[in-house]
Amino acid sequence: DPIESIDYPLKINTFKNVNPTDHYEEIGVLGYGTYGHVMKCFEKKTGSIFAAKKFKILRLKRYQGELMEVAILRSVGKHPQIAHLHAAYEYNLHCTLITEFVPGGALYNRIEKEGSLDEAITVSIIRQILLGLKHLQDCSVIHRDLKPENLMMVQASGYRLKIIDFGLAVFYQSSQCTPIPAGTLTYMAPETQNCDPQSYTTDLWSVAVIAYEILAGITPFEIPQDGCRDRILTNQEISLNITHVRYDFDDPGIVDVSNEAKDFIKQILVRDPKKRPSVHQCLSHPWMAMREEDRPLVKRTVSLFRHSTRKKPKGYRINTQTTQKRDPRNSADPITIQ
């Protein structure tokens, strides 16, 4: 694969009172969400393929006069692990973001389809996410909704990925807090649940949850701590497990992974965000530094998401900033923000 360049901040064409259909033609559906939808489209002038994310702009946050998601993607620019923004349209009370099309499907769907993973692949996936987060940190951005649905594979085979969906992302402020939790429950850090200030390590918490989920087939806080391992927890029980950081490595899907993998996860899943490692420290962790030939090739034979209470996505998930709350009974849905 060609090496992609890093280019930021990015010059993005922003059009107001221009219908995006003047420049693009929709050719298929990529996904639906509560507040919008994502279509596959091609640019009429060049024939290039893109993803078009359309949603209402009423009550959406702005940053220096620009829609927050546009401002963030402009700042982030182009990076090998991030799907970049190509153009933005504000027309008829709707915003349409024309973004890079990532054709390989969501990581969620990929692993569910294959049904097994080995630890070497997991390390590759986590390293790429960390590299993406390192760049976001360089741009002062917190994603706030990292999960397998928002990690898109570059191709139908292989495990190169890109982070998508910055609808809940914010620019970092040292005293930042939100009046309503933002993100997806099973990946949400304790400080987010409690509406306490968020930081770059808030995203790292989600990375550790994803690592555990890939290895075990279930997120750490969805596992009952009462001995009934097959019981499906309520959102309230999951929330309490997160708040008190209650999890273990006794699940059959993860008990035989390397000590380095367990240590990586344990170092990040700490209640106090200031005591978590930085993204640089995570990238330097022995688990990330192990060469593939040195890693135990233990094939994962458990089916991923076997106990998950979340809905299975068919493509992109839509998370746009709004004052309206999503149904808190469904942990698949981000729990909104202001």
Task: Output the domain CATH number for residue 66.
Answer: 3.30.200.20
Going by C-alpha positions, the residue among 256, 242, 235 that lies closest to residue 302 is 256
What pLDDT, on a 0 to 100 scale, did the predictor assign at position 12? 86
How far apart CA 335 and CA 327 sit, in angstroms, is 7
Global pTM reads 0.86
Phi, psi of 264 (to 5 degrees): -55, -50
What pLDDT, on a 0 to 100 scale, did the predictor assign at position 247? 96
How far apart CA 164 and CA 181 sit, in angstroms, is 20
What pLDDT, on a 0 to 100 scale, did the predictor assign at position 338? 27
Is residue 26, in this structure, part of any structural domain at all? yes
Q: Are residues 112 and 249 in the same domain?
A: yes
How far apart CA 257 and CA 51 sit, in angstroms, is 37
Q: Which domain holds residue 95?
A: 15-100
How far apart CA 39 and CA 296 sit, in angstroms, is 41
User: Which of 2-6, 92-96, 255-259, 262-266 is the most confident on average?
Assistant: 262-266
pLDDT above 70 covers what percent of the chain? 80
Q: Worst-scoring range by mean pLDDT, 48-52, 130-134, 205-209, 291-295?
A: 291-295
Asked if residue 233 has pLDDT above 60, the reply is yes
What pLDDT, on a 0 to 100 scale, did the predictor assign at position 147? 97
User: Taking residues 223-240, what's their average pLDDT?
Assistant: 88
What pLDDT, on a 0 to 100 scale, did the predictor assign at position 7? 77
Q: Are residues 207 and 76 in the same domain?
A: no
How far apart CA 55 and CA 8 sit, in angstroms, is 25
What pLDDT, on a 0 to 100 scale, did the predictor assign at position 326? 34
Q: Which of 145, 165, 203, 333 is catalytic?
A: 145
Q: Are residues 112 and 76 in the same domain?
A: no
Going by C-alpha positions, the residue among 225, 221, 186 that lies closest to residue 206 is 186
Is residue 270, in this structure, part of any structural domain at all? yes
Is residue 302, in this structure, part of any structural domain at all? no
User: Taking residues 243-252, what's their average pLDDT?
Assistant: 93
Q: Which residues contact 300 (CB under 8 A, 6 or more apart)?
A: 116, 117, 118, 119, 214, 215, 217, 253
Compare 129 and 182 and report the one with higher pLDDT: 129
Q: Are residues 95 and 123 in the same domain?
A: no
Going by C-alpha positions, the residue among 331, 326, 330, 318 that lies closest to residue 106 is 318
Instruction: Please report which confidence band the pLDDT of residue 217 belongs to, taking 50, 70 and 90 as the band edges.
Output: confident
Q: Are 288 and 277 in contact (CB under 8 A)?
A: no
Q: Are residues 53 and 24 in the same domain?
A: yes
Q: Which residues contact 234 (CB under 8 A, 6 or more apart)?
A: none
Instruction: Please report which confidence band the pLDDT of residue 174 belongs to, taking 50, 70 and 90 as the band edges.
Output: low
Q: What are the pLDDT digits (tens) for 94-105?
A: 999 999 999 999
Q: Which residues contact 173 (CB under 8 A, 6 or more apart)?
A: none
Q: Are residues 60 and 169 in the same domain?
A: no
What pLDDT, on a 0 to 100 scale, did the predictor assign at position 295? 55
Q: Are 24 and 43 in contact (CB under 8 A)?
A: yes
The alpha-carbon radius of gyration of the chain (Å, integer) is 19
Q: Are residues 138 and 216 in the same domain?
A: yes
Asked if residue 236 has pLDDT above 90, the reply is yes
Tokens of 304: 């991923």
Asked if residue 34 has pLDDT above 70, the reply is no
User: Taking residues 62-71, what's their average pLDDT?
Assistant: 83
What pLDDT, on a 0 to 100 scale, did the predictor assign at position 312? 44
Q: Are residues 86 and 226 in the same domain?
A: no
Q: Are residues 76 and 182 in the same domain?
A: no
How far apart CA 159 and CA 125 sit, in angstroms, is 7
What pLDDT, on a 0 to 100 scale, did the predictor assign at position 318? 33
What pLDDT, on a 0 to 100 scale, did the predictor assign at position 52? 98
Asked if residue 50 has pLDDT above 50, the reply is yes
Going by C-alpha positions, the residue among 248, 275, 80 that lies closest to residue 162 is 80
What is the CATH number for 248? 1.10.510.10
What pLDDT, on a 0 to 100 scale, did the predictor assign at position 306? 52
Mark which of 35, 70, 100 sits at the end of a domain: 100
What pLDDT, on a 0 to 100 scale, did the predictor assign at position 331? 41
Compute the mean pLDDT over every residue in the chain, rounded to the nearest whole number: 84
Residues 233-237: contacts with CB within 8 Å, 24+ apart? 233/309, 235/185, 235/309, 235/328, 235/329, 235/331
Q: Which residues contact 182 (CB under 8 A, 6 or more apart)?
A: 144, 145, 168, 192, 334, 335, 336, 337
272 assigned to active site: no
Q: Are residues 281 and 222 in the same domain?
A: yes
User: Taking residues 113-125, what's their average pLDDT?
Assistant: 84
